């Protein structure tokens, strides 16, 4: 006898288990941290409320110097406390070197604050990652090799990058790091303003004064450091067009990750 085929509708929807979502910055941070950990970098964190010394003076940014204008700062009350919300993760360089003898390799993720008006590209609270390597013989060539590894692992094989001159009081020489535009692959498009490049990070060789201010002998040690914003990285990776979405708490956005 022939069996009667039972009707079964495979087009009816599956029953999805409900799971949540991690924040895109968490995902990006995890990926970045993994790449650097694999290269021997330890993850170190530092306080978000900082003293003027660690955030500025120790980093070679003296009071009354126009270089301070590069970081618009939130100060805490009372003003006399000289406490502020860190404007970058770089104070952790000093804090770590004060307590740890080189050679060292660290990355420092964390929130930073900039006193500025917000729009689609500007935000007053950001998530940064800082890298620092200190050893006896450390050069720009080494920085380039580590950055190359990172970008290749993060963006994929065909990503190129370049160093352009820049200025940060705590590095000498200082670089502005750009990567091949991930949208057009370097041909030039609206995102990269027809240049084929996207600015990614600031970097440089640790300024001798930073070693001095950390209690290390600048004649003995050399190092490089870099820092970049995770929002920018996430915006590139996920093609997000408004930086304010990250801290909007909007599930229409967050549930996509």
Partner 1 sequence: MNFSYNWLQSFFKRKLPSPEKLADLLSRRFAEVEEIRKENKDFVLDIDIRPNRAGDCFSHLGTAREVAAILNFKLQIANGKLIEDKKLKAKNFIHVDVRRQHQQACSRYTVRVICDVKVGPSPKWIQERLKVCGLRTINNIVDIANYVMLETGQPLHAFDFFKIESENSKFEIRNSKQIQNSKFKIPNEPKKIIVRFAKKGEKIFTLDNEEYDLDNDVLVIADSKESLAIAGIKGGKKAEITEQTKIVVLESANFNPKVIRGGSRKIDLKTDASRRFEHEIDPNLTEIAINRAAGLIQEIARQQGGYPKVTHGLVDFYPKKVLPKKIKLDLNYVASLLGVEIPNSEIKNILKRLSFKYNENSSRCLEVLAPTFRLDVSIPEDLIEEIGRIYGYEKIPPKLPFSTLIPPKRNLEVFWEDVIKNILKEAGFTEVYNYSFISEKDISIYQLNQHKSAVLEVENPTSADYQYLRPSLIPGLLKNIAKNQRFLTEPRIRASSLRGEIKIFELGKTFKKFSIFNYQFSNKPEIKNISEKRMLSGVITGDAFYEAKGVIDLLLNKMGISNVWYNDYQPTPEESKLSIWHSSKRAEIKIGQEEIGFLGEVSPKTISDLKLKGKAVVFDVDFEKLQKLASEEHEYQPISPYPAAIRDIAILAPRNVKVEEVLNVIETAGGELIRDIDLFDIYEGEEIPEGKKNLAFHIIYQAEDHTLSSKEIDEIQNKTIKALEQETEWEVRR
Residues in 205-244 that interact with partner 1 by CB under 8 A: 205, 207-208, 222
Q: Residues touching partner 1: how many (CB under 8 A)?
A: 86
C-beta separation of 113 from 75 below 8 A: no
| Interface mask toward partner 1 for 138-167; x: CB under 8 A | xxxxx-xxxxxx------------xxxxxx
Q: In terms of CB distance, is 7 or 66 closer to partner 1?
A: 66
- Tally of CB atoms within 10 A around 153: 17
In degrees, rounded to 5, the angle at the alpha carbon of residue 243 between the alpha carbons of residues 76 and 119 is: 70
Q: How far is CA 45 from the centre of its chain?
A: 13
Among the listed residues 1, 117, 157, 190, the single contact to partner 1 using CB under 8 A: 117
* Residue 51 binds partner 1, judged by CB under 8 A: yes
Q: 186-192: long-range contacts (C-beta < 8 A, 24 or more apart)?
A: 186/160
| Interface mask toward partner 1 for 167-206; x: CB under 8 A | x----xxxxx----------------------------x-
Q: In terms of CB distance, is 49 or 187 closer to partner 1?
A: 49
* Residue 246 binds partner 1, judged by CB under 8 A: yes
State the nearest-atom distance from the C-beta of 133 to partner 1, in Å: 7
H/E segment holding residue 107: strand 104-113
Nearest in space to 168 (alpha carbons), one of 207, 208, 139: 207
């Amino acid at each position: 006898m022939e069996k009667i085929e039972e009707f079964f509708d495979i087009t009816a929807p599956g029953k999805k288990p409900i799971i949540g979502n991690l924040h895109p910055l968490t995902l990006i941070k995890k990926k970045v941290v993994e790449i650097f950990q694999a290269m021997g970098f330890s993850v170190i964190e530092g306080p978000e409320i900082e003293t003027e010394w660690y955030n500025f003076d120790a980093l070679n940014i003296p009071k009354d110097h126009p270089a301070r204008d590069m970081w618009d700062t939130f100060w805490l009350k009372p003003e006399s406390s000289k406490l502020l919300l860190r404007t970058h993760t770089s104070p952790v360089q000093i804090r770590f070197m004060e307590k740890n003898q080189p050679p060292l390799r660290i990355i420092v993720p964390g929130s930073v604050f900039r006193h500025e008006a917000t729009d689609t590209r500007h935000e007053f609270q950001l998530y940064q990652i800082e890298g620092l390597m200190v050893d006896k013989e450390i050069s720009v060539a080494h920085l380039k090799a580590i950055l190359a590894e990172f970008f290749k692992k993060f963006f994929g094989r065909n990503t190129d990058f370049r160093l352009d001159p820049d200025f940060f009081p705590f590095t000498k020489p200082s670089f502005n790091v750009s990567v091949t535009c991930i949208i057009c692959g370097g041909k030039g498009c609206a995102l990269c303003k027809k240049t084929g490049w996207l600015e990614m990070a600031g970097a440089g060789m640790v300024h001798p004064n930073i070693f001095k201010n950390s209690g290390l002998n600048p004649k003995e040690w050399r190092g490089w450091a870099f820092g970049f914003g995770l929002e920018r990285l996430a915006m590139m990776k996920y093609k997000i067009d408004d930086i304010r979405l990250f801290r909007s708490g909007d599930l229409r956005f967050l549930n996509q990750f």
